[in-house]
């Protein structure tokens, strides 16, 4: 792990009650890349992402986010990444505006810059006018938009999205894709899990395919292009 990349994972292992889920999974994600995390339910996608973000403790292997170990140096790793889990967490008693102020303060962002970026992202994702609503009053789609803004606010080098497009209206989804494209052009890497295989096939450059029996495979180059012509959660050749 000599080169500092947005994400490097080596021989990651995880089991639940002695049932192995991840077996020696390795992946490196370079600046500007969009990499998909694929697999049927029970294949370990959420476990894999949780082991990267520090939400789940792996049994072995190494994770580095911009060179930092999220299990021994979470503050450094957290500054580098923006995460939207499948079930986003928001403080229900805070308003949308307060939630964004809190996120900016937690990241030690300059107040003026954080407010300006929050305003831009609010407009981009169609939350203008919702600043005084309590987070617990938001619809699923509005809550996901707010979670996206919180994740993107500090300009992370690694963006981790677990079904982040769920519940978004089409115009907001298109603007989010444009925003992510701009972030990638600026050097940010994206790790994306989604059931929308047609979108993944056209937008991502590579894919980590997981299976419930601990198998995994990195689809790249010609193999990824072949997968994209007929997207499936089955292993190639099966």
169-173 mean pLDDT:
91
- Residue 121's pLDDT is what? 97
For 95, counting Cβ atoms within 10 Å of its Cβ (0-12 exposed, 13-18 middle, 19+ buried), the class is middle
Dihedral over Cα of 150, 151, 155, 156: its sign:
positive
Domains of the chain: 7-89+155-229 (3.40.50.300)
Note the residue count of the chain. 238
Query: How many Å apart are CA 212 and CA 41, to the nearest integer?
Result: 8
- Residue 162's pLDDT is what? 92
The answer, yes or no, to whether residue 228 has pLDDT greater than 60, is yes
- Percent of the chain whose pLDDT exceeds 90: 79
Split at pLDDT 50, 70, 90, the class of 236 is low
Q: Are strands 206-210 and 19-29 parallel, antiparallel or unpaired?
A: unpaired
113-134 mean pLDDT:
96
pLDDT tens per residue, range 85-113: 988 889 999 999 999 999 999 999 999 99
Residue 66: Cβ within 10 Å count: 18
The answer, yes or no, to whether residue 1 has pLDDT greater than 60, is no
The answer, yes or no, to whether residue 49 has pLDDT greater than 90, is yes
Provide the β-strand partners of residue 217: 209
**CA 211 to centroid of chain Cα atoms:** 20
Q: What radius of gyration do the chain's Cα atoms show?
A: 18
117-144 mean pLDDT:
95
- Residue 193's pLDDT is what? 93
Question: At CA 198, angle to CA 195 and CA 201, rounded to 5?
Answer: 100
Q: What letter would DSSP give residue 143?
A: H
11 against 88, higher pLDDT: 11
- Residue 2's pLDDT is what? 56
Q: Which two tokens stand for residue 23?
A: 């077996």
Query: How many Å apart are CA 112 and CA 104, to the nearest integer?
Result: 10
């Amino acid at each position: 792990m000599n080169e500092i990349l947005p994400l490097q994972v080596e021989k990651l292992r995880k089991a639940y009650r002695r049932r192995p889920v991840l077996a020696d999974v390795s992946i490196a994600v370079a600046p500007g890349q969009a990499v998909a995390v694929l697999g049927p339910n029970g294949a370990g996608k959420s476990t894999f992402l949780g082991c990267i973000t520090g939400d789940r403790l792996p049994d072995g292997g190494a994770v580095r986010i911009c060179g930092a170990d999220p299990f021994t140096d979470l503050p450094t790793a957290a500054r580098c990444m923006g995460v939207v889990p499948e079930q986003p967490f928001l403080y229900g008693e805070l308003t949308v505006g307060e939630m964004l102020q809190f996120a900016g303060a937690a990241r030690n962002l300059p107040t003026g810059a954080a407010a300006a970026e929050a305003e831009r992202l609010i407009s981009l994702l169609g939350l203008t006018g919702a600043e005084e609503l309590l987070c617990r009053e938001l619809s699923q789609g509005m809550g996901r938009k707010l979670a996206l803004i919180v994740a993107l606010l500090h300009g992370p080098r690694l963006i981790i999205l677990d079904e982040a497009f769920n519940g978004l209206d089409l115009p907001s989804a298109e603007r989010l894709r444009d925003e992510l494209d701009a972030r990638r052009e600026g050097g940010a890497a994206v790790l994306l899990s989604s059931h929308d295989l047609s979108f993944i096939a056209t937008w991502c450059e590579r894919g980590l395919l997981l299976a419930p029996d601990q198998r995994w495979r990195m689809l790249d180059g010609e193999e990824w292009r072949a997968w994209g012509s007929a997207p499936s959660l089955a292993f190639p050749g099966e």
